[in-house]
Amino acid sequence: MNTKQAYKIIDAGWAKKRAGYRIQFQRKVDGEIVTDYFPDLDEGPWLSEVAIWRMAWRLAESRQSDPPDVNHGDLINVTVVDLEGSPIKYYAINQLEVFNQMSL
């Protein structure tokens, strides 16, 4: 095994470089709860984990729901996902975090 092959294994198995981040949230549209993303899926993702979590918190704080009701404009289950849509751990607590969490 040469150096290149060794690093290939390391890059695939340990501390994978992330490609970007999106905020995933849910809201009520025409009476239905839909999942949406920020930035939109046709736009480029954010590359800063710190900035995207801060943005998620701001969004959640701005449009809080009044459980158990979800009103028009409320943003619930706000979290940060990678480009595959998998939730990522909030770096500040090293755990998955969902703002305005509500089970539907």
Which residues of the shown chain bind another protein in the complex (CB under 8 A)? 7, 11, 14-20, 47-51, 91-94
Contacts of 26 (CB under 8 A, 6+ apart): 33, 34, 35, 36, 75, 76, 77, 104
Name the helix (H) or strand (E) containing 27.
strand 22-29
Judged by CB, which is closer to another protein: 1, or 15? Answer: 15
Q: In the bound complex, what is the minimum distance in angstroms from residue 101's beta carbon to another protein?
A: 21
Judged by CB, which is closer to another protein: 3, or 103? Answer: 3
Q: In the bound complex, what is the minimum distance in angstroms from residue 92's beta carbon to another protein?
A: 5
Cα angle: 61, vertex 93, 86; to 5 degrees: 80
Judged by CB, which is closer to another protein: 53, or 65? Answer: 53
Judged by CB, which is closer to another protein: 38, or 46? Answer: 46
- Considering only CA atoms, give the Rg of the chain: 17
Q: In the bound complex, what is the minimum distance in angstroms from residue 47's beta carbon to another protein?
A: 5
φ, ψ (nearest 5 deg) of residue 81: -125, 160
Q: In the bound complex, what is the minimum distance in angstroms from residue 75's beta carbon to another protein?
A: 24
